[in-house]
């Protein structure tokens, strides 16, 4: 049995009974990586020596411990757009080759304070722009349940590493669904916290009003452990909120789940593939059987989410990615003049999807078009949020599939615009800032997992965790 | 609508070959057709939502001197350096005299 297939709680029991040491967990994780990486390609860098050294240190502390910090001795993989001091942060882009992180992201600092072992940096779509994990300078990540298929993106490696038992848990980032989509496609749990709940300090900016770091894990409890560790105010991120973070006990008590779930009417017109729809219906029936109320709600503007999202995300990205000019760090293509150096560096350093988005964003922000595109998108964004606020007067949570279709085959999709529609159900939570959790709902054809998500009002992650653990107990995910 | 892709390339500091430029043009056409439907929505009197939370929680840190990055570390990340400076091609070279 692979130790990485166990939950954090189970590993801690074994550690406290002295049946295993941290070294065993870390070695097991490294062994798993060695065995599977040729096929899965979930990692850009593995911190082999550093992780073993950390395990040695933790094993010394373990001897005196009767209680363990939340993540003590747990191998955790970090998406490669989050800074870990002393290591490269590539964002899976050529343009950041040679860049070395000079500081830890706040989330990394917090994981280490809870005793975590950082096992490595994971593969992703370049600058988190993508839904399949295929837009990486380091090649695509493959779905551990069936390597011919995509694991979902953009946190492709973070979800695949957990599903393949290469790491016990991981961190991803979610700008339009980048945690929830790969979590669903890999059959694991993924949480996008409320905007402002988790510090973005040390996360490479893609779209600053949408980005949020969150955990990916095999169980709801593991996800909660990571969430309470990384959440909370950080003076280094002025958009992080100074609000109390619930305790793990508060999050996991599933006694009182007499919730009303809102089913958006958009599902009637949405183009959902039959296999996904069937699994989603099974989830609805489960909740109904368990005595939860299901109520149809109207979210009239949610159908514009993909369009609104793409105007906002490309605008913010074109501005954020202006910093990659070959001067201070990363890749540089030499040229005779400064202007030519900028152009050559950026043209050769960025991949095609990143360039497409920079171009569209530059256009949407340019003189004469700003009002018609960017500003209008921001106004519709408010209408989308208002729809949800209205719905939350009647229901506690909104339930939706994560994606309208199963994972695509790797190399199959040639039209980038068609991939944008994989975000149709996930991007609303980013546009509105609401927290959302993606949970596995079973397997489809080709052994491919699918999932559903629940969306809660701002800073009500407690509702998400309560219903998620209720579902987990009643349904069982069966990953290990 | 005819988009001046060359102008946007200039603004974005990107260069494409002819084929890539054609692809970008096609992509623009698709995306603009897609977002066209936003024009049918009545947004009169609606304030733009720049950030998910309306209330401004932005806090200022105390204006206190803290430990920053070491100069040598920053220089190690630079593609080209000269003594204590980051080196780049001249910004004046190539600019046409008026």
User: With helix as H, strand as E and coil as C, how does chain B read?
Assistant: CCCCHHHHHHHHCCCCCHHHHHHHHHHHHHHHHHHHHHHHCCCCCCCCCCCCCCCCCCCCCCCCCCCCCCHHHHHHHCCCEECCEECCCCCCCCCCCC
Is the residue at B65 inside a domain? no
Q: Across chain B, what does the average pLDDT equal?
A: 90
Question: pLDDT grade, residue B98 (50/70/90)?
Answer: low
Is the residue at B75 inside a domain? no
Q: Which two tokens stand for residue B43?
A: 């947004």
Run of H or E including A309:
helix A305-320
Angle formed at CA A473 by CA A467 and CA A477, multiple of 5 degrees: 100
Please report the pLDDT score of residue B56 as a whole number.
57
Asked if residues A240 and A220 have their Cβ atoms less than 8 Å apart, the reply is no
Is the residue at A292 inside a domain? no
pLDDT, tens digit, 9 for 90 and up, residues A294-313? 999 999 999 999 999 999 99
Average pLDDT of the segment spanning A61-75: 95
Q: Which two tokens stand for residue A145?
A: 């349940």
Counting one residue from chain A and one from chain B, the pairs whose CB atoms sit within 8 A come to 177
Asked if residues A162 and A217 have their Cβ atoms less than 8 Å apart, the reply is yes
Question: pLDDT grade, residue A480 (50/70/90)?
Answer: very low
pLDDT, tens digit, 9 for 90 and up, residues A131-182? 999 999 999 999 999 999 999 999 999 999 999 999 999 999 999 999 999 9
Instruction: Output Rg (C-alpha) for chain A, integer angstroms.
Output: 21
Domain count, chain B: 1
Is the residue at B24 inside a domain? yes
Interface list for B 52-71 with A (CB within 8 A)? 52-53, 57-61, 69
Q: Which two tokens stand for residue A286?
A: 């489960």
More confident position, A1 or B18? B18
Run of H or E including A119:
strand A117-122
Check B49 against A378: CB less than 8 A apart: yes
Q: Look at residue A414 and tell me whether its pLDDT is greater than 80.
A: yes
Angle formed at CA A262 by CA A261 and CA A264, multiple of 5 degrees: 150
Q: Look at residue A81 and tell me whether its pLDDT is greater than 70.
A: yes
Residue reference for tokens 């509105």: A432
Is the residue at A195 inside a domain? yes
CB-based contact, A196 to chain B, within 8 Å: yes
Is the residue at B98 inside a domain? no
More confident position, A65 or B54? A65
Interface test with A, best of B3, B10, B13, B76 (most A CBs within 10 A): B13
Question: pLDDT grade, residue A327 (50/70/90)?
Answer: very high
Is the residue at A299 inside a domain? no
Q: Look at residue A366 and tell me whether its pLDDT is greater than 70.
A: yes
- CA-CA distance, A283 to A452, in Å (whole number)? 8
Active site residue A178: yes
Interface list for B 7-26 with A (CB within 8 A)? 7-9, 11-16, 20, 24
Which ranges of A173-247 does DSSP label H, i.e. alpha helix? 180-186, 220-230
Is the residue at A387 inside a domain? no
Domain containing B23 equals: 5-39
Please report the pLDDT score of residue B91 as a whole number.
85
Percent of chain A predicted with pLDDT > 70: 99
Please report the pLDDT score of residue B97 as a whole number.
63
Instruction: Output Rg (C-alpha) for chain B, integer angstroms.
Output: 23
Average pLDDT of the segment spanning A56-60: 97
Chain B residue with Cα closest to A420: B31
Which residues on adjacent β-strands are paired with residue A400?
A: A453
Is the residue at A17 inside a domain? yes
Exposure pattern of A129-158 as b/e (b: 16+ CB <10 Å)? bbbbbbbbbbebbbbbbbeebbbbbbbbbb
Chain A residue with Cα closest to B85: A328
Catalytic residue among A136, A170, A178, A318: A178
pLDDT, tens digit, 9 for 90 and up, residues A419-432? 999 999 999 999 99
pLDDT, tens digit, 9 for 90 and up, residues A238-266? 899 999 999 999 999 867 789 999 999 99
Is the residue at A78 inside a domain? yes
Percent of chain B predicted with pLDDT > 70: 90
Q: Look at residue A479 and tell me whether its pLDDT is greater than 60.
A: no
Asked if residues A408 and A132 have their Cβ atoms less than 8 Å apart, the reply is yes
Residue reference for tokens 């999932």: A451
Residue A129 is classified by DSSP as -
Chain centroid to CA A44: 17
Which residues on adjacent β-strands are paired with residue A173?
A: A213
Is the residue at A157 inside a domain? yes
Question: pLDDT grade, residue A1 (50/70/90)?
Answer: low
Please report the pLDDT score of residue B93 as a whole number.
77
Backbone angles phi, psi at A183, to 5 degrees: -60, -45
Is the residue at B27 inside a domain? yes
Is the residue at B10 inside a domain? yes
Please report the pLDDT score of residue B2 as a whole number.
78
Q: Which two tokens stand for residue A194?
A: 């409320």
- CA-CA distance, A441 to A423, in Å (whole number)? 18
Check B61 against A235: CB less than 8 A apart: yes
Q: Across chain A, what does the average pLDDT equal?
A: 96
Interface test with A, best of B15, B35, B60, B88 (most A CBs within 10 A): B35
Check A337 against B69: CB less than 8 A apart: no
Q: Which two tokens stand for residue A49?
A: 């020596």
> What is the model's pTM?
0.97
pLDDT, tens digit, 9 for 90 and up, residues A373-394? 999 999 999 999 999 999 999 9
How many distinct helices (H) and strands (E) make up chain A? 17, 11
- CA-CA distance, B52 to B43, in Å (whole number)? 18
Q: Look at residue A335 and tell me whether its pLDDT is greater than 50.
A: yes
pLDDT, tens digit, 9 for 90 and up, residues A431-445? 999 999 999 999 999
Q: Look at residue B57 and tell me whether its pLDDT is greater than 80.
A: no
pLDDT, tens digit, 9 for 90 and up, residues B75-92? 999 999 999 999 999 888
Q: Which two tokens stand for residue A187?
A: 């059959």
Check A382 against B47: CB less than 8 A apart: yes
Coil, helix or strand at residue A160? helix
- How close is the nearest chain B Cα to the Cα of A409, in Å? 22
Domain containing A15 equals: 3-258+428-474
Mode of pairing for the β-strands spanning A436-443 and A189-192: antiparallel
CATH of the domain at A31: 3.90.1300.10
Among the partner residues B27, B69, B76, nearest to A356 by beta-carbon distance: B27
- CA-CA distance, A324 to A147, in Å (whole number)? 33
- CA-CA distance, A398 to A295, in Å (whole number)? 9
Mode of pairing for the β-strands spanning A189-192 and A213-217: antiparallel
Average pLDDT of the segment spanning A318-323: 98
Q: Look at residue A468 and tell me whether its pLDDT is greater than 80.
A: yes
Phi-psi region of A127 (alpha: psi -120 to 50; beta: other; left: phi over 0): left
Which residues on adjacent β-strands are paired with residue A242?
A: none
Chain centroid to CA B82: 28
Please report the pLDDT score of residue B63 as a whole number.
87
Domain count, chain A: 1
Name residues whose C-beta falls within 8 Å of residue B22's C-beta, 6 or more positions apart in sequence.
Answer: none
Is the residue at A187 inside a domain? yes
Report helix, strand and coil shares of chain A as percent, to nearest 5: 45, 15, 40
Is the residue at B9 inside a domain? yes
Average pLDDT of the segment spanning A105-128: 98
Active site residue A79: yes
CB-based contact, A421 to chain B, within 8 Å: no
Question: pLDDT grade, residue A87 (50/70/90)?
Answer: very high
Q: Look at residue A460 and tell me whether its pLDDT is greater than 80.
A: yes
Question: What CA–CA distances, in Å, run from A257 to A245, A252, A275, A397, B83?
Answer: 20, 11, 28, 11, 64
CB-based contact, B73 to chain A, within 8 Å: yes
């Amino acid at each position: 049995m692979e130790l990485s297939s166990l939950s954090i709680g189970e590993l801690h029991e074994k550690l406290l009974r002295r049946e295993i040491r941290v070294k065993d967990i870390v070695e097991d994780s490294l062994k798993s990586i060695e065995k599977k990486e040729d096929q899965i390609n979930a990692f850009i860098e593995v911190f082999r020596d550093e992780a073993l050294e950390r395990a040695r240190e933790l094993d010394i502390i373990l001897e005196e411990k009767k209680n363990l910090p939340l993540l003590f001795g747990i191998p955790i993989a970090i998406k490669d757009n989050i800074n870990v001091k002393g290591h490269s942060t590539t964002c899976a882009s050529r343009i950041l080759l040679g860049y070395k992180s000079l500081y830890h992201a706040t989330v990394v600092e917090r994981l280490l304070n809870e005793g975590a072992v950082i096992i490595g940096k994971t593969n992703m779509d370049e600058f988190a722009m993508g839904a399949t994990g295929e837009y990486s300078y380091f090649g695509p990540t493959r779905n551990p349940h069936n390597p011919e298929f995509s694991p979902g993106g953009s946190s492709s490696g973070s979800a695949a590493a957990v599903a393949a038992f290469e790491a016990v848990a991981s961190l991803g980032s979610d700008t339009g669904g980048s945690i929830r989509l790969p979590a669903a496609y890999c059959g694991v749990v993924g949480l996008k916290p409320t905007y402002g709940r988790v510090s973005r300090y040390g996360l490479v900016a893609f779209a600053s009003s949408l980005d949020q770091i969150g955990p990916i894990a095999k169980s709801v409890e593991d996800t909660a452990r990571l969430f309470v560790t990384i959440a909370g105010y950080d003076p280094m991120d002025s958009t992080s909120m100074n609000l109390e973070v619930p305790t793990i006990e508060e999050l996991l008590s599933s006694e009182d789940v007499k919730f009303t779930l809102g089913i958006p009417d958009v599902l009637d017109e949405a183009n959902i593939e039959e296999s996904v729809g069937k699994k989603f219906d099974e989830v609805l029936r489960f909740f109904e059987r368990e005595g939860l109320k299901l109520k149809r709600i109207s979210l009239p503007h949610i159908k514009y989410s993909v369009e609104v999202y793409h105007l906002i995300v490309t605008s913010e990205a074109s501005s954020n990615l202006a910093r990659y000019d070959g001067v201070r760090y990363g890749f540089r293509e030499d040229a005779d003049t400064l202007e030519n150096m900028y152009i050559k560096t950026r043209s050769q350093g960025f991949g095609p999807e990143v360039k497409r988005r920079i171009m569209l964003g530059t256009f949407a922000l340019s003189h004469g078009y700003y009002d018609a595109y960017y500003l209008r998108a921001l106004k519709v964004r408010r209408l989308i949020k208002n729809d949800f606020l209205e719905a939350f007067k009647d229901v506690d949570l909104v339930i939706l599939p994560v994606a309208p279709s199963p994972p695509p085959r790797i190399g199959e999709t040639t039209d980038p615009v068609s991939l944008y529609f994989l975000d149709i159900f996930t991007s609303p939570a980013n546009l509105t800032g609401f927290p959302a959790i993606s949970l596995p709902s079973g397997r489809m054809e080709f052994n491919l997992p699918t999932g559903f998500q629940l969306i809660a009002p701002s800073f009500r992650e407690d509702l998400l965790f309560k219903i998620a653990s209720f579902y987990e107990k009643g349904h069982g995910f069966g990953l290990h | 609508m005819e988009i001046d892709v060359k102008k946007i390339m200039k603004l974005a500091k990107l260069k494409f070959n002819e084929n890539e430029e054609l692809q970008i043009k096609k992509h623009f056409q698709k995306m603009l057709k897609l977002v066209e439907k936003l024009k049918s929505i009545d947004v009169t009197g609606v304030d733009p939502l720049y950030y998910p939370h309306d209330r401004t929680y932005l806090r200022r840190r105390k204006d206190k001197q803290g430990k920053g990055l070491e100069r040598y570390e920053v220089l190690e990340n630079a593609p080209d350096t000269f003594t204590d400076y980051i080196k780049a091609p001249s910004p004046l070279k190539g600019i046409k005299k008026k």
